[in-house]
Every structure is written in C-alpha cells, then in structure tokens.
Structure 1
Amino acid sequence: MSGACGVGSCDPGHLDCDHLAGNGCEVSSATDASHCGGCGVACPTRPSAVATCAASTCGYACAPGQRDCDGNAANGCEVDANADSANCGGCGVACTQGRTCVSGSCTTAVCAAGLADCDHDGSNGCEVTLASNAANCGGCGVACAYANGAGSCTAGACALATCAAGFANCNASATDGCEVNLGSSAANCGGCGNACVVANGTAACFAGACAPAACNTGYALAGGACVDVNECATNNGGCGANATCTNTAPPRAPGLRQLRGSAATGPGPTPPAPARLRRGGNACPNGGTCTNGGASPAARRGGPRRAPGSRSRSTAAVSTWRCRPPWATSGRATSPSRSGSTAPARRP
C-alpha cells in the first residue's frame, strides 16, 4: 500500500478551503473576504466600496473619492467627495456662498445652479442669485434698466416695476421705459391720455397743467385763453397795456358814450369812448389804445344822415382813443382832459 501526504491540520488563522495538499492551508481566514472567519464565508459587496475582512470580521472600504457619510452599510459609500458640495473632500465639509465642489475642493469656478460669481471675489463665493438680481438678471451684468423707471427681475427675466415721480409708461411698452414726462407732455398732461387742447392757439403743459403756449394770428392771450384781439367791446380782456385793439362794431352802436378829450381823426364830436368798453367788460389797463369803427366826424357835423330803416349814420370811420384806465371803473366813466385833469363822461 503506497503512502500519500495530506494536510493534517492548519495553523491558527489559516484554512485549507480547496482541499489541495499541494497549497496547504491557503486561506487566511482572518483577512480573506471570500473566507472571512471560515471557508466560504464571503463578505458582502457594498455600493462604491470594496469588501474587506479584518480579524475574521467582514467590512468594506470606500472606493477612491467616495465616502460613507451616513454610516449606513446598506448604501455603502454613498458620497462622491470629489463633487458633493455638502461633503467636499470629506464628510461634512460644505461649500458655502454658492461655491461648488470640484476635485474635492470648493471653488467659484463653477457655481451652483442659479448662482454666479459676478464680482470674481472668492471671499464671497457665488454671491448672485440670477433669478432675482435686477443688476444681474439671468446672467452677470444683465441689468434691468429702464428710462425714468426701476426694473425688477423675476425668474431671470427683467420687467418694468415702477416709474420715477412725474413720469409714466403711457404706451405700455417697457422698451422705452417711462417715456412720458407728465409735467410737460401736452398729449399726457398730468396723466396718460390727458391731452391739452386750446381753442385758437397751441396748447402746452406746464407742471402738469394745460395752458396756452401760443395764440393763432389775430388772437391774444388773456385770462388763460386765446381771445380775438378785434373784440374790444366784449368781455375778453384782450386789450393789453400799450397794445392796439381793433373793434369793428357798427358805428354809433346803442349805448356807446362820448368822452371829451379823446384823440380823434379829425375835428368834430369825439369817437365812442371807453365807457362803452367798460360796460362791455373790457379790462384794458391804462396806457392801452383801442381802435374802433365809429361814426365819422363828418357824419356827426351833419354829413350823410341815417338811412331809412338803418341805425347807422354813415360808413364806419376809424378812430383811436385810450382804453379804459383804472380810474374809470365806477358807473360814471371819466377820461383825462387835454389839460391833464379828469372830466365826467358825457352821456350819449
């Protein structure tokens, strides 16, 4: 009977798990993850980890760059420490101020989504929230700026928020901002759509209120309106100081009065006096003149008489006299005489 050698017993911590005498007790049961503490006792594999056996007890080691930050063996090494901003380079190492984790280090080279490092100052990280920052709306340097107004940034898009005092966005377009000056726009005076209109003249807007800017030919500015300069005997106040006011009223109109001492175009009775203008409401200041169609001197001396059915004695003649001065405001109109004194007006 031939003899054959075999493994009788293994040293402590070693095992003959393949039963081959040639390799003896090939297994170190204290460190072999496939035979940890005994033949066939394999240590389980964990995510992002390598199974280990130490002192005949199973364990696992994280793969390079991975970390087991929650201590839960079931999910293994769940953290990528090279890219996780909450565990950058190690568990609990958080990247603050919008920084991101690149190769295990916090940096502003790449900011978290929606954030940006617009001032390129590493000390404050990615300081800008692009979705709401009006100076960097949707991107660094994209400012929400509007003429005469203030902009806002919502979801990374600019919008016109408010207008400066005295301005308005009357065309409802943010492109040109608050384009209207309500204090000077004749089309939007004091408010959008409030157009200034002045009869017989051009309107303007002053401090948000409409007023005449210029009057058409033949009209003058008086009492905030453009009035006909030919209407001396009407209540329009159109005869200004040292101005000439022309009236084409019928000659010898009923109610006209005569004042002695008035200038006339020839000898004979004086032309219609300012007392009539006073009765009509004219407010010509002292020093103005009024030119009126009145009865000619020839007619007053006995020239052509009134035609049948007509109240006019003659064709109108032009006469000029002073407009009603301030002292002729009572019921009795007076006028300076040639000597400089005043005399009561003669009744017609």
Structure 2
Amino acid sequence: MNESSNNKTAIRFLWLSILLLIVGFCFLIRVPYYAMQPGDAIDTGDVISVDGGYTAKTGDFFLTTVAMKKANIFDYLLAKVNKKVELVPVKDVLAEDENDKQYEQQQVENMLESQHSAVISAFHQSKKPIRVTYKGVEVMGVTSGAKNKLKIGDIIQSVDGAPTMTTNQLMQFFRSKNAGDNVKLGVLRGNKKISENAVLISLATGNNKEKRIGLGFLPMDRLQSLTSSPKVSFKTNNIGGPSAGLMFSLEILNQLNPNDLTKGFAIAGTGTISQTGQVGQIGGIEHKIAAAMEKGATIFFAPKDIYEGDDNEAIAKRTAKELGAEMKVVPVATLQEAIDYLNKLK
C-alpha cells in the first residue's frame, strides 16, 4: 500500500470518527423539552385480574399510552421532520421545583389512585361490596386564576373546620358559597398539618351556561384503604399516570358480570375515572389515537369536552380524521355513558 492510499484511509477514518462523535453528542446533549410520541395499546385483560371473574370475551378493551422521555438534540431534530414526535417544554410537564424523579414518583402514585378509583366506580356500578376509607382530596394541579396557595401534592382534609375527605364533599360544601368568599383550608402537606386561607372563584363550563364555585384545582380523592370482594389485582409494570382509569373500570366490570361488554369489538380509549364514575381530561390524546389506530381498534372512548379549557374530544376527532383512522371516536363524560354506548352495540 502506497503513501497516498494510507493518507486516504486516515482521512476516511478521521471523518468517520468525527461523524460518530457528532452523532454521540446528539444523543447525549439534552434540550429543555420532553419528546412525546405514540406509545402502545395494551389489552386490559393482561393487566387486570378479578378473583373468580369472567374472562371469556369476544372482543378486547385496550388502554393507550404515550411514550415520553427527556429530549436530546436527535429528538429535537427528529420532531422537525416527523409529525409523530412532539416536543413539550419541561416547564409544561414538571411542576415548580419538581425534578424528574419526583415527577416519576408522582406518576406511580397517580396510577395507583387510578386503579383504586376504577375498582370503586366499577364495584359501585355492579353493586358489589367494597369498603373504603379516605385520607383527603389531593391537589393534582392548580388552575390559572386560582386564589389560593395550594401546592401539588397537598391533601385537603377540611374547609372552615368541616371535614371534606372527598371531592364530592368539597363540591357539596361549595354549593352554599359564592365567588369571593374566604375559606380556611385544613391541609396535609407532606407529614405536616397546616392551615391555608383561600378565596373561592367562579368556574365556568365550556358553554358558559353553568357556573360552579370552587378553589380552582384538579382534585383526586386520596385513599387510606380499600377492600373489595372479590379482590382485584393489577400488573401495570412501567405504566404510569391516571389516564387508564376509564378502561380499567370497563375491564373490571366485564370480569364482574357475565354479559360481555365488548360485543366482539376492539375498543380502545383513555380518560381518568373518579370514584363516582366521572371521566376526566388527559394529556397527549393525539398520540393515543395513533396508538389505538396502530392496534386496529374500531372504537375509541375519549373524555367529553364539558368545561372551559377541555379539548380532548376535539383533538381526538381531529387527529382521527387527519390520520384517516377507520375508528369511531366516542366522547363520554361518565362510566355510565360508556356502558350505555356498549350496550347498544350489536
């Protein structure tokens, strides 16, 4: 081999090394975003087991997920050419002073509460025995315009000295109040009980016809203990967050009762579930539509847009249309509405 060939080989090796170094930097250097894209549609029958329950069914229920990770330069560049990849600013995901580890732990806790709420709502629907004690109403988020000093993770246990251990008790208390009224909250923050003053505000619904009075926060009933008969078991592995609640409830109901709700259909969906069966808004629904479409679902339950700022129903329908999905988007506000729709299927 002559000197010219040696020089060319060395140059090629140098350029290859530089290229590999650049690629490595693209994967290693973080940017202040999270990268979100379609995750998976998971058969809820593989996740939930009811002791002695009915497992024979002609169709399937699928919970849908979003794949999310801290973005690097490669993800940032990919999002510019791939519409499936969405960049979300870190400040829109993490609460103030919250780090990644705390966020992940919160998502684990949200998943656990989602399971509890799904069990309670399904057992109440089926009129099966269940025993529940509550710790209080946890603050999952504070809305803009709120006039309080609540923090994410706070657990409200009383208002003006009256016990309010559930969201329903809070709502009942506020029905006799007016916007602008001052209230004193009994709050559990960490392991410390404190008092916080707050001013009630008017919460408008999406059509502005109905007014509600409240504190301006996203609530979740935090359980102390739950005992059901029969027992319900979950295997959620690495799934986090509260958004599988509705689909959990439907799967539990299907195992509690002999009548198959699926009617042979592949039914996907998303939405939080309250212990009274109310379906709530979630994030990343466009990615969940794509995940359900990939799985071949023909029906997708989405949270109905009711209050000001709700957008799940609108985004789900728009995304399904843009993707050309042969899948019917069904907006529901309650577990009962989902059941009513399924009962009408042939």
- When normalised by structure 1's length, the TM-score is 0.19
Question: Of the two, which has the highest radius of gyration?
Answer: 1
Structure 1 or 2: more helix by fraction:
2
- When normalised by structure 2's length, the TM-score is 0.19
Structure 1 or 2: more strand by fraction:
2
